[in-house]
Chain A
Amino acid sequence: MPVTIEIPTAFRRFTDGAPKVNCSAATVAEALDALTKKFPELSRHVRDESGQIRQFLNIYLNEEDIRFLGGESCALREGDRVLLVPSIAGGSQCS
């Protein structure tokens, strides 16, 4: 299934500057795998040590957060857009 992954600026130094990456995938997980296979340096920025999608990275399939679609196993259709968007958080530590 041909789909497009949209890359935020912060990640583009790992994608040779490309703002969009096209790939073929049946699920969001496959799309992320295709992306990190093509750009291996991106792997650790997308997934944490346990293989989960990083907590402060939100992934959308078209307009919807994939957590409302059953997570990364959700199926893709031709022409779908997968968006990687940083979760904007503040932080709280005093040290």
Chain B
Amino acid sequence: MSDDSLYQLRCRECGKTWGNVPRSFCDDCFSPLEVAYDYDSLRKFARRENLAGRAFNMWRYSELLPLTDDFTAPTATGGTPLVRSRKLAAQWGLQNLYLKNDAVCFPSLSFKDRVVGTALAAARRFGFETVGCSSTGNLANAVAAQAAQQGFDACVFIPADLEPAKVLNTAVYGARIVRINGNYDHVNRLCAQIADRFQWGLVNVNLRPYYAEGSKTHGYEIAEQLGWKLPDNVVVPMAGGSLITKIAKAFKELVTLGWVEDKPVKFFGAQATGCSPISDGVKRNLARFQPQKPNTIARSLAIGNPADGPFAMKLIRESGGWAEDISDPGIVEAIKLLAETEGIFTETAGGVTAGVTKKLISQDRIKPDETTVVCITGNGLKTTDAIADEFRATEAIAPRLEAFEAYLDAQIGATTRAARA
């Protein structure tokens, strides 16, 4: 959006407006701030036709994002494939199953590239020289990569036990990495205090309202790739619970602007059983979720005290959706299933989403003829530790044809081998 009088921060609870400033909560009532748009004005110039000549990446929706007049797209982030599933759909008995594949999001291979895109636009606007985040890994990767490209200093805070690949994928960009002895919730609490003390742009703390807007582009793309239609069901992984609510906001905006026809969409949230405060809250119909101590291989979803949990629970309930969770062995099984059927190698969070989708189908909450989109948000190359035990190295053979024949005999039997020869 080119005119910043068209959007500003507003308190979700008391409605107080704040202009555009680096802060995430209302001083009056301590409730979260969000970016609120003047949709009446937007409707006059934010038209679907405007997109025709634009590249397919997240910045094609710039009218619907909190950007300044002089903003120029720094990277071709987003624009990821919406894969129509054939094998997995057949296996699950679904006719219209799609996988939104942010495992190949540019530049750091997760949907976090989208949120960092809008957060760094805000950081530049507010004059921050240092940017950072609290992260379970993917966000740190995204901040480090885009900060390097855009000339910010980066300082990221991570739990000390994070997967080595995710730490390396942050360090390589030259970011300062501060490892914290504690889980993500400890890291997040510290970052809330750091944002209180230092003049840094912490993307998911004081820049959070702007950061969260980037998630909407995942939803815009889904609608556009379905031919400007909304799906019946969306299955979304939940860590802090923000993405699911922002996909809902994206759909609602497209309806408000007349870009898609209105229709009911059910939102389904997916968590790992070892860290499932939101799904637990939905399943037990709690007024407030109970925080948990994370214990799961899905570390990118291991947020025991999800800040957007209350909003995610409300959305799921009001949309007629549901939330489910899946065990660690179930996550590994689902990662393999997605790879073997669709050729998509996702990280543990994607295993959670795929595994939960299967569960929702078996519970008859997702029907065969409905259009269902499963959101895959990260790349399997970052969490190879989680599945390494599943695949042992095979014994090497001599570079001779007889050796290969002997190998095949041992693997599939001499009769089968002869039949295939």
Contact = CB atoms under 8 A, between A and B. Distances in A.
Chain B binds chain A? yes
B249 interface: yes
Nearest to A54: B30
Contacts of A85: 189, 192-193
17 contacts: A10-B27, A54-B29, A56-B32, A68-B291, A83-B189, A85-B189, A88-B192, A89-B308, A90-B208, A90-B211, A90-B242, A91-B12, A91-B34, A91-B209, A92-B246, A92-B249, A93-B34
A71 to B, nearest CB: 11
Interface residues of A, number: 27
B310 to A, nearest CB: 6
A95 B305 CA distance: 27
Contacts of B290: 67
Given A9-B196, A85-B192, A63 B186 contact: yes
Nearest to B27: A10
Interface in B186-221: 186, 188-189, 191-193, 196, 204-205, 208-209, 211-212
Contact of B305 (A57, A63, A87): A87
A90 B308 contact: yes
Contacts of A65: 185, 291, 305
B36 interface: yes
B31 interface: yes
Given A88-B192, A88-B208, 7 more contacts: A85-B189, A87-B305, A90-B208, A90-B209, A91-B32, A93-B36, A95-B36
Contact of A56 (B25, B182, B186, B204): B25
A16 to B, nearest CB: 16
Contacts of B27: 10, 13
B25 A10 contact: yes
A90 B32 contact: yes
Contacts of B192: 8, 85-86, 88
B307 interface: yes
B153 interface: no
A56 B30 contact: yes
A45 B245 CA distance: 25
Interface string A45-74: 100000000111110100101011000000
A45 B29 contact: yes
Given A90-B208, A91-B212, A8 B196 contact: yes
Contacts of B249: 92-94
Contacts of B116: none
B95 to A, nearest CB: 30
